[in-house]
Amino acid sequence: MENTILIDGNSLTISQVNEIARNGTKVALATNAIEQINNSRNHVLRIINSDKIVYGINTGFGKFKDVKIANKDLRDLQVNFMRSHACGIGKPFSKEIVRAMILLRANALAKGFSGIRLEIVQLLLDLLNHDVYPYIPEQGSVGSSGDLAPLAHLGLVIIGEGLVFDAQLNKIDSKIAFRQHQLQPAILEAKEALALTNGTQAMTAIASLIIYEAHKLVKVADIISAISLEAMFGSLKAFSALIQEVRPHPGQIKSAQNLRKILDNSQFIESHHNCNLVQDAYSLRCVPQVHGAVRQAINHADEVINIEINSSTDNPLIFANEVLSGGNFHGEPIAIVMDYVSIALSELANIAERRIERLVNPALSNGLPAFLTLNGGLNSGFMIAQYTAAALVSENKTLAHPASVDSIPTSANQEDHVSMGTIASRKAALILTNLYNVLAIELLCSCQGIDFRSGNLSPDPLSEEANFRKLPLKPGDGVYLAYEHLRHTIKPLISDRILSYDIETTAQIIKSGNLLKAVESKIGTLE
């Protein structure tokens, strides 16, 4: 099928998750997944017909694990489960996160260890392919047994009792949306409520979207730090391959390679390579070491998330000859790596804020005017933009406190250790948003610094349209491309204006990926 991604429970990638979640790409079950799902369901039917007591199939849940449920009541059990577990509160997850959740739950079920019927899995894919956006509150999951509350809100939609958003983002009854798309709500049978809700798909959906963005953002941070280096007449020597080779952390080596590529052919650096400055400050000199460590944290999280998105995470699991209760629903693998990612992204923001401070501080900027403004005093320039960056990195430090070290017992102490993995992922998402804005502020400040170095900004600038290409001295190839890309949208700061708008626009330029594309289109792919 053209422009359709096939899922089988084993081969989904983070890139595909983002493609489906963000771009509306169609999804279908692979042939082998259909066989896997049907085989698993047949095992459940044999158990029901034998009247054998098996947890999760014909018993209660959690503390009620020993309560036998009569076959005649199994349908009611599914409905009661969804209603009782849909206890989420707070603002709703974004459409992209919800789409990723639906996809990941379907992919886990496609592995064929959950005992669910094929038509229920297909209905999940119908939600994606018809672009139905369920209302799922963000808060309420402790990350074990999986993301029960968020996934129960999804389950309510499946049975026609939940809420979805219409095209105008008004909440409507799911039955209305089903009629609009000619879909039918499901009547769940034994094991199916548990199969839909007992998993880590909320925390993993958020994590998948974050990791995808983080891979690109760490490259952008290399680009912006290079602009700051040039604006402050820094040195390229600290990025020498010789230095990296004697401490061969892969992330550090890649970051230094990027910086050398971005700064290649820099006439700025060449013009002052004989200056008396022996060493740059750490926020400039140690970019490979700090950015490189962030890279490796993101790469480690990528490995964990790629395993998780192709895992069976419900309980019990249905095997050919037995049904086994275990703990694959426990979100600890995601909780720990997303706490790690939170710390890493916070550090990327921390070092960027330090470069912002150096850019606006005349005692530290190697000759740039105070707060990067003309007519200081009359104008405040980027003074308060640095305040904003400081506020964001301080907020990140609070958010980076690990969620995974906390646990509150639930279900009458039957579930006496939980992961808080969804909280870890949600906090990482907030840190990522703050990071976009800190990098946007650094990009604005560093490009303003380039303008001063170039002569575009002087007490009597010719015009706001002054063009960098007039300069006798040209910065590094990548710096020039990034500067030029920003200046197509954001003009130099001649006199004070509302910088909030500039920050928001610049953050969107970074988030869109267009800045990175503009640089890589000419100098090649960054590591």
Active site residues: 55
What H or E segment, with its residue span, contains residue 37? helix 31-50
Burial of 171 (0-12, 13-18, 19+ CB in 10 A): exposed
Contact 67, 183 (CB under 8 A): no
The length of the chain is 527
Name which of 405, 406, 421 is nearest 334 in CA terms.
421
Paired strand residues for 2:
none
Q: Report residue 482 CA to chain centroid gap.
A: 23
Q: Tokens at residue 183, please? A: 């879909």
Q: How far is the C-alpha of 339 from the C-alpha of 300, rounded, in Å?
A: 12
Sheet bearing 171-173, strands edge to edge: 133-134, 163-165, 171-173
Contact 191, 115 (CB under 8 A): yes
Residue with tokens 């063009």: 467
Residue 421: which residues within 8 A CB-CB, separation 6 or more?
Answer: 141, 143, 144, 200, 203, 331, 332, 334, 335, 338, 403, 404
3-state helix, strand, coil in the chain (%, to 5): 55, 5, 35
The 3-class SS string of 223-243 reads: HHHHHHHHHCCCCCHHHCHHH
- Taking each helix axis from N to C end, the angle separating 332-360 and 383-399, rounded to the nearest 10 degrees, works out to 160
